[in-house]
Amino acid sequence: MVALAISREQVMAWLGDVADPEIPVLAITDLGIVRNVTIQDDVVVELTPTYSGCPATEVIEQSVLDALHRHGVENVTIKRVLSPPWTTDWISEDGRDKLREYGIAPPASGGSKRELLHGNRDVACPRCTSLNTAVVSEFGSTACKASYKCSDCLEPFEYFKCI
Amino acid sequence: MNSNDSLMAYVLRLADNALILGQRLVELVAAYPELEEELANANFALDYLGQARMYYTYAGELEGMGRSEDDLAFLRDENEYRNFLLLEQPNGHFGDSIAKLVLFESFYLLQLEALVHCSDTRVAEIAARAEKEIRYHLRHNTQWLVRLGDGTEESHDRAQASVDALWRFTGELFAPDEVDNVFEAEFEGPDLFRIREQWQKNVAAVLQEATLEMPEEQWMVSGGKEGQHTEHLGFMIAEMQYLQRVHPEATW
């Protein structure tokens, strides 16, 4: 079989149009869950789950298959990669801006373990940028979010929690 | 016991623990009086079910008989389950559930921290993913136990009774058997004696902050790791497995 005449960059660009089903403003490439793309006889896309029980995992895998099939790539293999585990640090700068515009406070960079042990950092309201915000609940509508409210503009908002 | 058998048995225990606790938490979905706790509980249940799926898939591959995650979860009988007795205990009231989670997750987090460094890559990878989730759970559940213990007289007494009632199921967590020993020796697995020491320190600190008494040394009930369960597991899996038993191979 001859190597496919498409580039890794091209495939990444197509994956940039695949939306996260739970936060549709984010592409899966913004979210940092596309771990690698390799092209030999087939296209191998390595994806990593955000949470063990993330119900979006299967939907995302199907969306990737659909997107590549749409562009005429028939031989696609999806590999689920667990290591190293996904962290919110992998959300791109572009992704953070999109989250903010959508009304979700992006996670603080470099959070991870430290934040879990020592409480929350300052979380800026995605609407008015005030730091005068308070946790309503450590949990939210999906596994990856916590619920906050802004004490200045009084709007409730979601925070993409650091893990 | 050869190393592959021990690895399969070890992973199956991890899977059964995650599934049975996850299923107990699922029973509470839509039962919480507060939306925030409802969300927290559902999130926890989802994490455990996700972890269970990864462990079962691997256990099935190690066994090499073609059993899928669903076969292992839904088509085994009570005496084939290898979860800790602690986890199959009924939910009881909110304090009972919180006490159960704090006692177990204080152990499970230490277990996962050790598993991240074990020599089996797949187990280490799943553990690395799960460790982050359990750390988040434990922080939340610990805060609740402190709030209940250090709350009103009523909540204090009930939280103490919950800890006392569940304590006798904690011995099993640290009692190594052949599976644990082979896994530790062959795969650089957790040293349960060291985990026990650390667990006692951590749990003592939480109980102290919660103004609760650490229960006295006492007789410990065990058997879950060998498939000898309390009467609660049978009822629980009867409900959980109903659909697969009545409509074998039904899929979504």
Set out the domains of chain B in order of their start, with CATH numbers: 3-246 (1.20.1260.10)
> Looking at the domain A8-80, which fold is it?
GMP Synthetase; Chain A, domain 3 (3.30.300)
Interchain CB contact of A135 with B (< 8 Å): no
The answer to whether residue A131 neighbours chain B at the CB level (below 8 Å) is no
**A85 CB near a chain B CB, below 8 Å?**
yes
Better-predicted residue by pLDDT, B148 or A124: B148
- pLDDT band, very low/low/confident/very high, at A114 (cuts 50, 70, 90): very low
The DSSP call for residue B86 is H
pLDDT at A22: 86
The kind and range of the H/E element at A157 are strand A156-160
- Give the gap in angstroms from C-alpha A110 to the nearest C-alpha of chain B: 14
Instruction: Name the residue of chain B whose CA is nearest to A118's CA.
Output: B139
pLDDT at B99 over 90: yes
ipTM of the complex: 0.74
Structure token pair of residue B198: 């650390």
CA distance B66 to B78: 21
| Strand runs labelled E in A19-153 | 34-39, 43-47, 76-80, 104-105, 133-137, 145-150
Q: Is A140 on the interface with B (CB under 8 A)?
A: yes
Residues sharing a CB contact under 8 Å with residue B242, sequence separation 6 or more, in sequence order: none
Mean pLDDT of A128-151: 88
**Is pLDDT of A2 > 60?**
no
CA distances from B68 to B58, B60, B62, B198, B244 (A): 9, 6, 11, 36, 13
A143 and B CB contact within 8 Å: yes
How far apart CA A126 and CA B227 sit, in angstroms, is 51
**Contact residues, chain A, for B136 at CB < 8 Å:** 116, 138, 161, 163
**Residue A83 to residue B54, Cβ atoms within 8 A:** no
Q: What 3-state DSSP class applies to A107?
A: coil
For B82-91, the pLDDT digits (tens) are 999 999 999 9
Report CA-CA distances (Å) from B77 to B71, B229, B242.
11, 11, 12
Distance to chain B for A28, nearest Cα, Å: 19
pLDDT tens digit string along B100-151?
999 999 999 999 999 999 999 999 999 999 999 999 999 999 999 999 999 9
- Per-residue pLDDT for A110 more than 60? no
CA distance B78 to chain A (A): 24
pLDDT for position B34:
85
- A51, B50: Cβ pair inside 8 Å? yes
Q: Is the pLDDT of residue A91 over 60?
A: yes
Mutate one of A82, A88, A112, A113 to test the B interface: name it (highest B CB count within 10 A): A82
B12-25: b (≥16 Cβ within 10 Å) or e? bbbbbbbbbbbbbb
Best mutation target, A81, A87, A139, to test chain B (most B CBs within 10 A): A139
b/e code A123-144 from CB counts within 10 Å (16+ = b): bbbbeeeeeebeebbbbbebbb
Which member of B50, B135, B136 has the closest CB to residue A53?
A: B50
Query: Phi-psi category of B227—alpha, beta or left, where left has phi over 0 and alpha has psi -120 to 50?
Result: left
The overall pTM is greater than 0.90: no
CATH 3.30.300.130 in chain A, residue ranges: 8-80
pLDDT band at A35 (very low <50, low <70, confident <90, very high): very high
